[in-house]
Amino acid sequence: MSLAGKTYTGLKLEVDGHTAIVTLNNPPAHTWTRDSLSALRDLVRDLDAQRDVYALVIVGDGEKFFSAGADLKQFADGDKALAREAARRFGEAFETLSAFRGVSIAAINGYAMGGGLECALACDLRIAEEHAQMALPEASVGLLPCAGGTQNLARLVGEGWAKRMVLLGERVDAATAQRIGLVEEVVPKGEGRAKAIAWAKQVEKQSPTSVAASKRLIQSTRSQTHVASLVAEREAFVDLFDSQDQREGVAAFLEKRAPVWKNA
């Protein structure tokens, strides 16, 4: 399928080689709406169908906000049905993002609050610009993180720091985020997007078939036992021998040339 001419509410898409760059674009703070969450879900599904897209970069438009999360106005009247629908759409969007077959990289270029940080947590890797601020402040307004925040944050930074951020509402800066493992890299202001694209270019050197299989295995440690995951790892290794990319990768190495991946 082609992405030409398709539009996604609250998102801007560009494709640079094998990298899709998604810019969050709902000014002023790039808050999530039900429509933009559905759009992110659909966009990631569309990218999964594009076999020549190997990496996905997500960044906020401008230099102040990555995303400030959900628009709280939608919860002002205490409508439980609306809350259930919003929670479902958050879950669908970010779980689809987490399951993206390629490598997803969040370039946190400013404030990442609530559902904004949860979007970054659903990505494989996170880069923060030095002025970025990150928090899950939902409990301060009588809510809680419902888009993977309590689960994904604890897996990344451990239970103690997850409780500091969720239960105490503690905000962290970029340096602290890197120290506790919330982000993998800190860069100067304005350089997050370029760094994320540079990482995406590194992904292009890897077999996309191997990357997809390896990502599934790494993420399986969240739910499977160690023994089961070891068995799955060996089986996935053998399954790669059914792929064109495995034959191309070995042949290219032996012939001392760069491989040409087919994602097949």
Q: Which residues are catalytic?
A: 118, 138
Q: What per-residue string of b and e applies to 126-165 under the rule 16 or more CB within 10 Å gives b?
A: bbbbeebbbbbbbeeeeeebbbbbbebbbebbeeebbeeb
In terms of Cα–Cα distance, which of 11, 143, 165, 162 is closest to 71?
Answer: 143
CA torsion 151-212-120-110 (nearest 10°) is 160
Element containing residue 92 per DSSP (H, E): helix 80-98
Residues 137, 170: Cα–Cα separation, whole Å: 8
According to DSSP, the residues that pair with 6 across neighbouring strands are none
Tell me the C-alpha distance between 260 and 10, whole Å: 35
In eight-state DSSP terms, residue 61 is S
β-bridge pairing 19-24 and 11-16 = antiparallel
Residue 173 has phi, psi (to 5 degrees) of: -90, 180
Q: How far apart are CA 50 and CA 15, in angstroms?
A: 11
